[in-house]
Amino acid sequence: MLLIMKSSHSGSLRISSVNVYGKGTLSTARRPSLRVNRSLLLIVSLMAFSLTAPYGAAQKVALSVDASKPGSKIDRNIFGQFAEHLGHGVYEGIWVGSDSKIPNTRGIRTDVVTALKAIKVPNVRWPGGCFADEYHWRNGIGSQRVVTLNPNWGGVIDPNTFGTHEFMDFIDQIGSQAYVSVNIGSGTPKEAADWLEYMTTAQPTTLEKERAANGHPAPYTVAYLGLGNESWDCGGNMTPDYYLSQMKIYTRFVRNFNPAQQDKQQMLKIAVGPGGGEPRWTEWTEAIMKAYQQHTWSWDINGLSLHSYTVAHGWPPSYASVGFGEAEYAQVLKTTLDMNDLIARHSAIMDKYDPTKKVALIVDEWGGWYAPLPGSNPGFLVQQNSQRDAILAALNLNIFARHSDRVRGANIAQMINVLQALILTDKEKMVLTPTYYVYKLYLPFQDATFVPVTFEAGWYTQGDVALPRVDAIAAKDTNGKLWLEITNLDPNQPVEVEAGLAGITPKSATGETLTAPRVDSVNTFDAPNTVAPKPISVKAQGGKLVLKLEPKSVTVVSVEQ
Ligand code: AHR
């Protein structure tokens, strides 16, 4: 990847990054030679800034979008979700039971289904997480459910009333696809193979008959199969070699028999991948990809997972999810931008062994991870979700889009009531978070074709943290319409954007923006609309788009030509 950084006449930073796929990038972390440049540029930038820009004045940013150079498809699966048996993620968040007073369809809450349908969730990863490596699917089928414990997450009881059929019903109700993770840590290949046969066979086997007797004669579709979870840690503390020996057995024997998934729409098998950028993780990626390069007919994988949370001050997460200031806002966003280098680092290893990019990188756990809300069960990972999280989500989605040749799936952690949730519930109440609205704004980017954008980002600085003032991506949707997303990271100053468009002549444009009174503004059950998208005016003049971004905002623009 070629990274060009130079100061412009206005003292701002020019970020223009193009690789063979025409993708841009932002982060320069862990590149020592560039860091020096960056410091110098920061000083120059600050001098120019103090001379020319009074506090609160709009900054100008020029974007250049080249619609004539389409890149890779932005796989809709980068907008995937993760629902683990953890705290109130599944129980109460999705499942209330059919005798609940909370409106539901076969036990699944109606308000949550309506909200999720509206954002076209492409896939849901379930049942974990760490939970997956202790999950035994037979406990969650039939009329007599086995009550078990959930030692990973608070040691609470899992009634197993939400099992395979309930998950598949949920997926069906929201119009999504199943990403099922099998238990490698404490299960057996036979247990996992039986589960897949139970879910997917159309042949009259004993397991098929059992599924039919439990209410579902037709085979289920399983789009993704997770081969364990964090097997280097909570999934069994395995070495790469030990994991490989196990994983090969699972990919061989855990089969999908659904007749509709044999030639087309085959189930994609996702191996456990790295959990960071340190040597331990690069060695893990090396080991799996090297083995993949030499794989024989009897085993195969289609994806490698990557887990990376934004934890600003290291483990355990100590930053508050609400009631924080600008310093914590800037620090969290700085940390989250490391996702770009992390993906680049592991993609480079994957390129060595898989230059045609057959194996996808699936970032199937990511998001902001903060201190548990005071008074909550620390094992339930409860946190609020603020405008900072909306910006964090947009920055990460943009990074995934720029790497769309390799990153073909991602699952934010987690869907409801856990970590960076899209939805919060409390008994019969439900509220949509700022992160939810980002997913809504990004709907046109699902399966759209990436289009390169270059821009003068400028700097937003807070203390010793310097961040690009803006981020942006563009894409053509499946109907050929051009969409542009621009994030203004600066929480204090608006940005005047002038976007030059090559390859199309804009007739008109409309936009929606998501901003908030404060960096830590949240939606609550009592005030659910503090952070919600609103229309923004965009002028299409002289072949350009002109608009003004509010501070700390995420904006999506559609262009009529
Ligand atoms: O998302 C919470 C936990 O984080 C998951 O269970 C685990 O895979 C990761 O460590």
Q: Which of 125, 307, 366, 415 to mutate to test the pocket of ligand 1 (most atoms within 8 A of CB)?
A: 307
Which token pair is 74? Answer: 């932005």
What is the spatial distance between Cα 332 and Cα 347, in angstroms, rounded to a whole number?
Answer: 24
Name the burial class of residue 529, with classes exposed (0-12), middle (13-18) and buried (19+) by CB atoms within 10 angstroms of its CB: exposed
The DSSP call for residue 379 is G
Average pLDDT over residues 95-109: 98
pLDDT at 56: 61
Spacing of C-alpha 498 from chain mean position: 29
What is the spatial distance between Cα 158 and Cα 149, in angstroms, rounded to a whole number?
Answer: 6
pLDDT confidence band for 457 (50 / 70 / 90): confident
Sign of CA dihedral 460, 466, 467, 470: positive
Q: Which of 135, 150, 234 to mutate to test the pocket of ligand 1 (most atoms within 8 A of CB)?
A: 234
Which token pair is 522? Answer: 């949240």
| pLDDT of 295 higher than 50 | yes
| pLDDT of 336 higher than 60 | yes
Burial code (b: 16+ CB inside 10 Å, e: under 16) for 453-467 equals bbbbbbbbebeebbb
What is the spatial distance between Cα 346 and Cα 513, in angstroms, rounded to a whole number?
Answer: 33
What is the spatial distance between Cα 98 and Cα 111, in angstroms, rounded to a whole number?
Answer: 14
What is the spatial distance between Cα 479 and Cα 481, in angstroms, rounded to a whole number?
Answer: 6
Nearest alpha carbon, ligand 1 atom 6: 129
Nearest alpha carbon, ligand 1 atom 2: 129
| pLDDT of 35 higher than 60 | no
pLDDT at 398: 98
Strands 13-18 and 2-7: antiparallel
| pLDDT of 290 higher than 80 | yes
Ligand 1 centroid from CA 507, angstroms: 47
**What H or E segment, with its residue span, contains residue 411?**
strand 407-413
Nearest alpha carbon, ligand 1 atom 9: 129
287 by DSSP, 3-state: which? helix
pTM: 0.91
Which runs of consecutive H residues, i.e. helices, occur in 204-265? 206-213, 240-253
Ligand 1 centroid from CA 371, angstroms: 15
Least confident of 39-43, 377-381, 553-557: 39-43
Measured in residues, the chain has a length of 561
Ligand 1 centroid from CA 414, angstroms: 9
Nearest alpha carbon, ligand 1 atom 5: 129
Report the pocket of ligand 1 as residue ranges, CB < 6 Å: 84, 128-130, 229-230, 365, 413-414, 419
Collect all residues with Cβ–Cβ distance below 8 Å to 163 and sequence separation of at least 6: 137, 139, 140, 141, 145
Which token pair is 184? Answer: 């490698």
Ligand 1 centroid from CA 151, angstroms: 13
pLDDT at 304: 98
Assess whether the previous peptide bond of 262 is cis (omega < 30° from 0): no
Collect all residues with Cβ–Cβ distance below 8 Å to 28 and sequence separation of at least 6: 3, 5, 34, 35, 38
Residue 315 CB neighbour total at 10 angstroms:
8
Which token pair is 40? Answer: 């110098």
In the sheet that holds 553-560, the strands lie side by side as 449-451, 470-476, 482-488, 553-560, 508-514, 534-536
CA 288-294-298 angle, to 5 degrees, is 95
Active-site residues, by number, are: 230, 365
What is the spatial distance between Cα 96 and Cα 175, in angstroms, rounded to a whole number?
Answer: 19
Ligand 1 centroid from CA 132, angstroms: 10
Average pLDDT over residues 169-179: 98
Which atom of ligand 1 lies nearest, measured to the CA of 414? Answer: 1
267 by DSSP, 3-state: which? coil
Ligand 1 centroid from CA 230, angstroms: 8
Which atom of ligand 1 lies nearest, measured to the CA of 132? Answer: 6
Average pLDDT over residues 149-166: 97
| pLDDT of 7 higher than 80 | no
DSSP 108-140: EEHHHHHHHHTTT--EEEES-SGGGGG--GGGG
CB 360 within 8 A of CB 304: yes
Nearest alpha carbon, ligand 1 atom 4: 129
Nearest alpha carbon, ligand 1 atom 3: 129
Nearest to 269 by CA among 300, 241, 232: 300
Which atom of ligand 1 lies nearest, measured to the CA of 229? Answer: 8
Tens-digit pLDDT profile for residues 300-311: 999 999 999 999
pLDDT confidence band for 2 (50 / 70 / 90): very low
Which atom of ligand 1 lies nearest, measured to the CA of 309? Answer: 4
Nearest to 37 by CA among 2, 1, 3: 3
